[in-house]
Structure 1
């Protein structure tokens, strides 16, 4: 099932990543699926895998961004600033983890597609 729609393939990989989130390697699986559906060279696989990971990271980023809305309500400016920095660090780590592993999965998916 090769499709020429890169965004559709990335969304399919992101849905797989979120659906298999109980596994530690779900970004690898989602990125591999997206790249396998996309076809192409390994560079294309890395790109589509990273895009899939970025799309899969959106729910985490939105949930943590909601926490930023409530941080100013703590009453203490130091707690609010520290919480803001902590939330931003968590978002950066979560997105980086997901995008990097999805790109790795994209590399593997493209490799499987070209060599099978």
Structure 2
């Protein structure tokens, strides 16, 4: 199933990442699936894998960012600012981790597609 629709392949990889989230390497698997479906060179594999990881991390980022709505209700400005910084750092690290591992999976998927 080699399609030319990059966004569809990235979404399929993101769904695989979310569906296999009980595994520690789910971003790698999702990125590899997306890149394998996309085909092409290793640079394209890294790109499609990273896009897949970015799409897969959107639900987590939205849930964690929703905490920002409740932080001003704490009544203490220091707690609100500290909470905002903490949520921002956690979201940034989580998204970066997922995108990087998905890009690695994309490289692996492109390699497998080229040599299969």
Q: CA deviation at 1:3?
A: 0.2
SS of 2:23 mapped into structure 1: coil
Structure-2 separation of matches of 1:82 and 1:20: 33
- SS of 1:23's equivalent? coil
In structure 1, how many angstroms separate the alpha carbons of the residues matched to 2:114 and 2:27?
21
Q: Which residue of structure 2 aligns with residue 16 of structure 1?
A: 16
Structure 2: which 5+ residue stretches go unaligned?
A: none
Gapped regions of structure 1 (runs ≥ 5): none
Q: Shift of the alpha carbon at 1:5?
A: 0.1
**TM-score, normalization by structure 1:** 1.00
TM-score by length of 2: 1.00
- Cα distance in 2 for partners of 1:8, 1:56 equals 13
Deviation sequence 1:18-62 (CA, Å, 0-9, x none): 000011100000000000000000000000000000000000100
1:51-90 pair list within 5 angstroms = 51-90=51-90
Q: How many residues align?
A: 116
Which residue number in structure 2 is paired with residue 36 of structure 1?
Answer: 36
Task: Provide the C-alpha distance between the structure 1 equivalents of 2:17 and 2:54, rounded to a whole number of angstroms.
Answer: 11
Match of 1:91 in 2: 91
